[in-house]
Amino acid sequence: MSLKPKSNWELIKNGMFGENTIFRMAISLCPSIAVTNGMKNGVSLGVAVVFVQTMVNATVSLIRNFIHPKIRIPIFMLIIAGYVTIIDLLMATYARPVYKEIGLYIQIIVAFASIFARAEVFANKNKLWPSICDGFGMGLGFLLAMIVISFFRELLGKGELFGYSLISGNPLLIMILPAGGFLAVGLLMGFFNWVDMKFFGGKGASGV
Amino acid sequence: MDFTKLFELVVSSALINNFVFTMFLGLCIFFGVSKKMETAVGMSITFLMVMVVSAALSWVVYQFIMVPLDLTFLKIIIFIGVVAAFVQSADTIMKKVSPSLYYKLGVYLALITTNCIIIAVPLKNAGEHYNFFESIAFALGSGIGFGLALIIMASIREKLEVADVPAPFRGLPISFIIAGLIALAFTGFSGLITL
């Protein structure tokens, strides 16, 4: 990471590709498998995360000078939990059918490492506007990963996208089974590493 | 009290609805600490203890404070607060009372608050209206299931160190594929007990 402050656009891009939560940093993995068995679920959770991540970064950045460093962790936790409660109640009211399937995972956003990490690493040290861009970019990166994974899983597993049938014949049932989620993420991660090594000379994200 | 039901709850949450392989929770920790057998065992033990106690605490708070005061819509904030407070105090007490145990398990204790299972279990207990003993049985089963997953994974990954894996798949991607295969094996447990 360079010390030179990045422009807002660079911050968004960094969140989407350079430090993509799922494929690069390999954190917040749970929902990437749990709710990606269909585009609708994946996109809904992604949007929820974009909202929470942006708002948390904005809030933390605004009040960063008033928080005593020693109690910052519980304070961040409370801020995150507050926004998660908002989105949880909103979805429970206005998106009932989706909420029934992914409700538990919406509530689990509170334990997302990526949101906490950005609040601690970025928003705690930066001004309001860059923090919003950083949070938004990180959220978009997550959304993007969710879209890619659920695209493949729904298309291969059911032959559908957003519930519309596209391919006839026997779909690969394993892709929508729980096990298929792990396989899909593993293969996609390997593929992105391969692209990175082959075309950009990177070392690939070894992850944990 | 119905012991058969409690036993079924333990078995079903440990094997059939295993948190890691069928609900996909706690994956960050699952992939993070399953590199070595020793750390996997340490994490499993710590996790099991914290899980049971925090589920019991959350149940008490939920039944005797949140329900009478009509605060159930704040359950996310309150549960995460209860868990974090318990982990923090366990950390402090353990450091004072048993430094040797703290030296062995303290690291894992700090990591536990980032584990989604720890917050998922109280939320599920509240959602399913389990009574006190059922909540504990559910927490116990979940803890056992998580430990089981962690230990299976660690034993495979230790062998993987010497395997010749294609370069782009080294590290995390191959671990994911292994987890997928284990998950496939775990689907064999479904239908063992119908609750």
Going by pLDDT thresholds of 50, 70 and 90, the confidence category of residue B85 is confident
Q: What would the pLDDT profile of A83-109 be if each residue is shown by its tens digit?
A: 888 888 888 888 888 888 787 788 878
User: Is B99's Cβ below 8 Å from some Cβ in A?
Assistant: no
Chain A and chain B share a number of CB contacts under 8 A equal to 135
Cβ within 8 Å, pair A191-B84? no
Alpha-carbon gap, residue A79 to A165, rounded angstroms: 41
For position A1, what pLDDT does the model report?
40
Structure ipTM: 0.73
To the nearest whole number, what is the mean pLDDT of chain A? 78
A29 interaction partners in chain B (CB closer than 8 Å): 27-28, 31
B127 interaction partners in chain A (CB closer than 8 Å): 104
To the nearest whole number, what is the mean pLDDT of chain B? 83
Regarding predicted confidence, which is higher, B100 or A172? B100
Average pLDDT over residues B165-179: 82
Q: What would the pLDDT profile of B31-61 be if each residue is shown by its tens digit?
A: 877 778 888 888 888 888 888 998 898 898 8
- Tell me: pLDDT of B147 over 60: yes
Closest listed residue to residue A187, CA positions, set B22, B162, B181: B181
- Tell me: pLDDT of A206 over 60: no
Name residues whose C-beta falls within 8 Å of residue A115's C-beta, 6 or more positions apart in sequence: A28, A49, A52, A53, A56, A80, A109
Average pLDDT over residues B75-93: 83
Regarding predicted confidence, which is higher, A25 or B16? B16
Average pLDDT over residues B107-115: 72
For position B195, what pLDDT does the model report?
58
Interface of A with B in 189-208 (CB under 8 A): 189-191, 193-194, 197, 204-208
Q: What would the pLDDT profile of B57-82 be if each residue is shown by its tens digit?
A: 889 888 888 888 888 788 878 888 88
Regarding predicted confidence, which is higher, A159 or A75? A75
User: Is B1's Cβ below 8 Å from some Cβ in A?
Assistant: no
- What value, to the nearest 5°, has the Cα angle with vertex B163 and ends B160 and B169? 80
Using CB atoms, pick whichever of A81, A178, A207 lies closest to residue B171: A207
Half-sphere exposure of A18 (CA within 13 A, CB side): 10
Name residues whose C-beta falls within 8 Å of residue B157's C-beta, 6 or more positions apart in sequence: B34, B35, B175, B178
For position A2, what pLDDT does the model report?
41
Q: What would the pLDDT profile of A173-184 be if each residue is shown by its tens digit?
A: 777 777 788 888
Cβ within 8 Å, pair A81-B35? no
Residues A20 and A196 sit within 8 Å (Cβ to Cβ): no
Going by pLDDT thresholds of 50, 70 and 90, the confidence category of residue A208 is very low
- Tell me: pLDDT of A157 over 60: yes
Q: Which residue from A minimizes the CA distance to B175?
A: A186
Name residues whose C-beta falls within 8 Å of residue A64's C-beta, 6 or more positions apart in sequence: A123, A124, A125
For position A169, what pLDDT does the model report?
67
Cβ within 8 Å, pair A190-B169? yes
User: Is B27's Cβ below 8 Å from some Cβ in A?
Assistant: yes
Average pLDDT over residues A122-148: 84
Going by pLDDT thresholds of 50, 70 and 90, the confidence category of residue A4 is low
Cβ within 8 Å, pair A77-B84? yes
Regarding predicted confidence, which is higher, A49 or B193? A49
**Longest CA–CA separation in chain A, Å:** 61
For position A203, what pLDDT does the model report?
59
Cβ within 8 Å, pair A88-B76? yes
Residues A110 and A98 sit within 8 Å (Cβ to Cβ): no
B168 interaction partners in chain A (CB closer than 8 Å): 190-191, 193-194, 197, 204
Alpha-carbon gap, residue B46 to B108, rounded angstroms: 7
Q: What would the pLDDT profile of A63-77 be if each residue is shown by its tens digit?
A: 888 877 777 777 888
